[in-house]
Chain A
Amino acid sequence: DAKTTQPNSMESNEEEPVHLPCNHSTISGTDYIHWYRQLPSQGPEYVIHGLTSNVNNRMASLAIAEDRKSSTLILHRATLRDAAVYYCILRDITASKLTFGTGTRLQVTL
């Protein structure tokens, strides 16, 4: 599986936008970029995924670099409930498995 690199932790103020980066320099053409988050004492929750184009949904936006070697998860207005560990994961289109790294722990403060 291609590897991703994320900062261990980030901080944000409530109601500010948050940009969570992910580097994946060895991404292949068949790798989808997935983002999940895990709130304290809960299972991971699907956030968003994309292949080449930027994606938006009710939870977040995903900005994918033109060369696909990096991506950014954007939370438009962070709330205290967004405090979680965010995982950036590459999943090959032919594979049925998700391989988790250690993610980015996001702290949101008032």
Chain B
Amino acid sequence: NAGVTQTPKFRVLKTGQSMTLLCAQDMNHEYMYWYRQDPGMGLRLIHYSVGEGTTAKGEVPDGYNVSRLKKQNFLLGLESAAPSQTSVYFCAAYPGVGGYTFGSGTRLTVV
């Protein structure tokens, strides 16, 4: 039982390149989230999903897109990467009660 798995774990992008971060969960949880964490700061919500086929904007959605075509997967896309998007990205899943389960993060550097 892996919980929440994020791929890749590390990535370096050039400015203007695009990429997709994958979050997969094996807990059958309805809710999924993408956060970013900059050095010395708490996590900020980018986008989230309350169920398959639904997405919603969080606190810092600009420059990102998401899709939840399957319940177990939540994808985060960067259309045209910028240095300001250098961060650690965390995915989380939540069943509706209790606690959230977070992945181990994707460290992204945009040069």
Contact = CB atoms under 8 A, between A and B. Distances in A.
6 contacts: A36-B99, A44-B92, A97-B58, A101-B42, A102-B42, A103-B42
Interface residues of A, number: 19
Contact of A44 (B40, B90, B98): B90
Contacts, number: 51
Interface of B: 4, 31, 33, 35, 40-45, 48, 50, 58-59, 90, 92, 94, 96, 98-105
B31 A100 contact: no
A20 to B, nearest CB: 15
A97 B33 contact: yes
Contacts of B35: 100
B58 to A, nearest CB: 7
